[in-house]
Amino acid sequence: MGASESKLAFKEDIFRLSGTPDIPPNDPWWSRFYTLPESDSDVFALWSPTDLRALTAFDAHCSPDTPAPQKNAEILIYAVVRRLRKVVERGKAEGDEEGRELLNCVRVLTRLLPYLLEVEGLRAWEDAFFWQQRKGTWVWDTKYNHRGPLFDGLNPGKKVPEGSGEGSLGRPLGEELLDLLINALFLPGLTLPSRGDGNEKADNAITYSIWQSGIGCKQSVGMSKENERNAMEVLRLLLVVCSRAMYIMPNVAAQADVKALTYITTKSSRQVVLSLLCSLLNTVLKYNPASWRVPLDLSAITKDPKQLLVTYSLQLLTVLIIYPVPGDEPNAFRKALGRLHRVEDFQFIQQGLTVVLSQPISGVASYVPTASKAVPWAPEMLVLSWELLQCNKRFRSFIIDTDRAHDFFVLVLYYAMDAKDDPARQGIVRMAILILQTLTVESTFGIRLNKSFIGQESLPAVLRISNFHGSYADYLITSVHSLMTTTKGRLETVYPALLAIISNIAPYVRDLQRATSSKLLDLFISLASPTFLLSGGDNHTMLSSLLESLNAILEHQYESNRRFVEIIARSHKRFEALRNFTVNGALAEVDRMAQERKDRNSGIMSPVRRVSTDRPSVDGARSPNGNSRQTSLGNVPEHSAFAIGNDDDEDDDDMTRPTAPQSHVRGSRASSVDDAVPVQSRSMSEKARGKLPVGQGSFSRETSRNTSTTSLASMPPATPTTAIGSGMPSTFTPTPEWLETWLPHLPLHTILTVIAAEHDRDPALRRRLFSSTTSIPTPPAVSLSSPLTDSPSPPKVQHFHWSPLALGWYLSMLWGFIYAADGLNNPGSNGLWAGTHVKLFLVERRADGGVSLRRPKGAVDAVGGEIARRVAGLGFGGGGSTSSSPVVGSVREA
């Protein structure tokens, strides 16, 4: 039969399958589904979503209380699994014809299962059919119009006596299918080279040989391109079987029992776990995308079998190791990954990760236009890197105890800086930030950051800082400042993680440069501004976290950070203003700035407040293009525009929205030290503050909206404290009672003690206030002793703590990567999940033919808020992302 005739016959069989109900299970016609197709494209192109949905519609002969798909769907699944079992249990695929039949069985299941998983009403049927003990099944007898006799689906000739239908005929079908697929990954003649000896016993035929040399194996099995292509198709079906999470809302995804993943990660034998883990890991880490065998345009690779094998290997590996097994049972794959300990294995892992992640950086100096493009599976490789750092302490020590930590943290930072301005890639930015926080919990990492950072000119433009000089600590703090000040609130939910990074390294940093110290003070000014503190009941926790970081520098590294101490001493009015903070005074300050904004918008400005507007913006401190707009690091202004909040917030009055020139006016006004001190510290004494009536000066949500763009920090209001999952913000009203719950507990004592001591040592510091043009003298040759008499407090380590909602965000991001990659590798209707109604994220069609992946409505704020609460223990209830914010990115379909 020719190829065209085969396709026509297969299409006719598809029509019969969905149009003729209850075809007898012992009819030889069923074999046509694994004998006719010539390739995977036949199955995917000829089997349309309409045909599949007709097959998965509820069977009219089933009880409405227990809906099930058409009986033809069940019989087809039994037929292809039966054929799979016959070949795999023999332990060898004999000839090309049998191998093609086995692959066609895989393709049929790959095409059908996503359409079964998407139907909400089939949850109970799916659980009974795949994951409970196998029972007798039946088809409708159309001749006599009643239910036919019971039979064994995997052996249609075996009749089941009436009354024993509730009995067990064997293991659950889903478990048998998973075992068959895993064995098929190690099947000679299909995914491994054929063996010459045909006299091997079936029991011993399957040998779990690791595919590639590397971890656990010193010699590759020698897979051919055909073997790699076949293994890729089996891996693809395993991903589909495990993709139940795609059809679950992210708020409950972490608690969901995905039975396929639970079985693989808890019931697989130790030999299977180690062989599959090492095969997948070695395949991923040994592949060099920059080799001469790969086309230069990485985005154009869609049918290279080696690249597809690497992609699906990495995706299945990450899905297996991050799966949270319900209950207390450990994940065997994650446990095995955490037990790796050989130095040569760690070297192999580190080299493989670096080759992929450094692709955009290593190609900077290349003359090849496409050499600097990121590898398509780089996001999944970041996930693997993070998992290795979290679950294997030995690997984390291996990275951190050497200079490899410097290169690795720069690589991770590249992905954060490169994606920070792209709303569709915010998930990558958040993940990179949390990876950095994971690194900084180790004290050795903080100590090693004091090494001088040389050669940043060779880095991509997004990583370069004009006229930079300093250590890796200076570079990291500057980068954190840039992420917080140039993203317009898109990363608000992970601001606590960024502050935790500073907090974790603060006790160990030495010789901070003047520009870095200025940026730390700039963050303090922004977080201590009245607009920010009054816009959310928990916002002060971020200020407290930063103050603790400043204290840690002073307590642990006072003598070695003279520039930082000088800047703190010259900025004494800032800290004194915070000590004298009052609700009434802050409200007066907010009103004053609101009036000034209205005056500016109407073209009226008080002569007292009119200042030059030629001060450079903070956004120029790190220009993506490295152009002349970049501000010299030595001249970065102390007080910069700083946006905390949601850039999508809208003001009630259009006149309150500042334009670009107004932003410069606002920023330049902040350079005046007198202006920067809040009104309440200039107009109210301590005595007057104590006489404030209780509840005076209420501050409503509407007040917050009307003044959201006027503070020194240029901060839109942070979302008030929100109940997890509710999506409804509560109204916050600051009162003197609320103020007393946190203001007296701010850790200001250490800073004020240092300021007083420095002023006693050099009274001129009180008069010479710090500004962007202040000349800071070279630290004295003889170190001055610390005025702090108490012993330094132990360094406070802020770990990242997982919660169910944070894990739901993580799972949605990973499956979003997988969905996006599948859309690129299998464009149009050939995608594994294309056209199905996934729930873990929303798939929105764009006018240009592509799709955008977004989180479902109501899921983002809940997940983001929980991450903000748990990431650093600060209790910050921000809502920096809207309900339509992207989860991973965009896919362009053919």
Tell me the DSSP string of 54-73.
HHSSBPTTS-TTS--B-HHH
pLDDT at position 305 is 81
Residue 697: the pLDDT is: 35
Residue 161, pLDDT score: 78
Residue 880 has phi, psi (to 5 degrees) of -70, -15
Span 567-608, pLDDT tens digits: 999 999 999 999 999 988 888 888 888 888 888 877 654 433
Note the pLDDT of residue 779: 52
For residue 465, pLDDT over 80 is answered with yes
Q: pLDDT at position 342, please?
A: 95
| pLDDT surpassing 80 at residue 862 | no
Main-chain dihedrals φ then ψ at residue 755, nearest 5 degrees: -60, -45
Other beta carbons less than 10 A from residue 103's beta carbon: 23
Mean pLDDT throughout 398-420? 93
- Pick from 237, 254, 232, 236: nearest CA to 245: 254
* 166-184 average pLDDT score: 90
Q: What is the pLDDT of residue 604?
A: 53
Mean per-residue pLDDT, 618-623: 35
- Residues sharing a CB contact under 8 Å with residue 885, sequence separation 6 or more, in sequence order: 423, 426, 490, 854, 855, 860
pLDDT value at residue 888 = 54
pLDDT (0 to 100) of residue 730: 43
pLDDT at 620 > cutoff 50: no
How high is the pLDDT of residue 197? Answer: 52
Which residue's structure tokens are 């991050």? 322
Is the model's pLDDT at 198 over the cut of 70? no
User: With bands split at pLDDT 50, 70 and 90, how would you rate the model's confidence at 671?
Assistant: very low
User: Which residues contact residue 206 at a Cβ distance below 8 angstroms, ignoring those fewer than 6 apart?
Assistant: 88, 91, 183, 186, 187
- Mean of pLDDT values over 784-807: 86
409 neighbors 437 (Cβ within 8 angstroms): no
* Of 127-136, 257-266, 772-781, minimum mean pLDDT range: 772-781
pLDDT of residue 792: 87
pLDDT of residue 291: 60
How far is 602 from 111, CA to CA, in rounded Å?
A: 63
Instruction: Count Cα atoms within 13 angstroms, Cβ side, for 711.
Output: 29
CA atoms within 13 A on the CB side of 174: 23
Q: Specify the pLDDT at position 768.
A: 61
At 259 the three-state DSSP class reads helix
- Helix/strand/coil for 559: coil
pLDDT, one tens digit per residue, over 262-307 is 999 999 999 999 999 999 999 999 998 766 444 444 444 446 788 9
Question: What pLDDT does residue 2 have?
Answer: 54
Give CA–CA dist 215/280, Å, rounded.
10
Our CA angle for 644, 385, 438, nearest 5°, is 50
Which region among 157-161, 400-404, 479-483, 779-783 has the lowest average model confidence (pLDDT)? 779-783
Domain spans, the chain = 3-173, 454-719+731-800, 804-892
pLDDT over threshold 50, residue 614 = no
Q: Give the pLDDT band of residue 764 (cuts 50, 70, 90).
A: confident
pLDDT in tens, 10-32: 999 999 998 888 888 888 999 99
Q: How far is CA 791 from CA 507, 553, 758, 788, in A?
A: 13, 13, 19, 8
Residue 866, pLDDT above cutoff 60: no
pLDDT tier, 363 (very low <50, low <70, confident <90, very high otherwise): low
pLDDT value of residue 771? 54
pLDDT of res. 145: 75
| 59-63, 168-172, 623-627: least confident range | 623-627
> pLDDT tens digit string along 59-75?
877 777 788 888 899 99
What mean pLDDT value characterizes the chain? 78
Question: pLDDT class for 226, splitting at 50, 70, 90?
Answer: very high
Q: Which carries the bigger pLDDT value, residue 658 or residue 436?
A: 436
CB-CB contact of 856 with 842 (8 Å): yes
pLDDT of residue 519: 95
Number of Cβ within a 10 Å radius of residue 197? 6
- Whether 727 has a pLDDT exceeding 60, the answer reads no
**362 has a pLDDT exceeding 90:** no
What is the rounded CA–CA span in Å between residue 133 and residue 127? 10
What confidence category does residue 724 fall into, taking pLDDT thresholds of 50, 70 and 90? very low
Question: Using one digit for the tens of pLDDT, what is the confidence trace for 514-558?
Answer: 999 999 999 999 999 998 898 888 889 999 999 999 999 999 999
Task: Give residue 770's pLDDT.
Answer: 56
Residue 694 or residue 413, greater confidence = 413
Q: What is the pLDDT of residue 851?
A: 66
Residue 171 DSSP class: S
